[in-house]
Amino acid sequence: MLKRLIDEKREIDEVYAVGPIIMMKVIANLTRPYRIHTVVSLNPIMVDGTGMCGSCRVIVDGKTKFGCVDGPEFDGHKVDFENLTARNRRYLTEEQIALKRFTGAK
């Protein structure tokens, strides 16, 4: 859809992508060749949410930023999505345990 709009040469100044990491990553990759400024809203794992712990650190333009206070919006072309994806998988096992407990599934 976005690709079609771009291909139709519609004038697009800015793209906002808010959603799963993989979707934001794909959108950022799509707009990169066209140099359309793309804002992504990141969802790293946060603990206190006040800039105190660094659990939500993300690499943007080679620098470490805190998602909670420096973001959560960042320039999608500068985000290290590989690192974010790996970091967000940190507690996958525990998340599944918690989900099972919550839903009562076996």
Question: Is there a contact between 23 and 17 (Cβ–Cβ < 8 Å)?
Answer: yes
E-state strands within the chain: 14-17, 37-41, 57-60, 63-66, 73-75
- Give the nearer residue to another protein in terms of CB position, either 2 or 59: 59
* Of 29 and 64, CB closest to another protein: 64
CA 44, CA 53: separation in Å to the nearest integer? 13
Chain centroid to Cα 68, Å, comes to: 12
Nearer to another protein, 10 or 101 (CB): 101
Smallest gap from Cβ 65 to another protein, in A, equals 11
Q: Which stretch binds another protein (CB under 8 A): 6-14, 20-28, 31-39, 93-101?
A: 93-101
> Minimal distance in Å, beta carbon 69 to another protein?
7
Contacts of another protein in 45-64 (CB under 8 A): 47-55, 57, 59, 64
Which one, 3 or 50, has the nearer CB to another protein? Answer: 50
Amino acid at 36: I
Could you give the count of Cα atoms lying within 13 Å of 3 in the half-sphere of its Cβ? Answer: 4
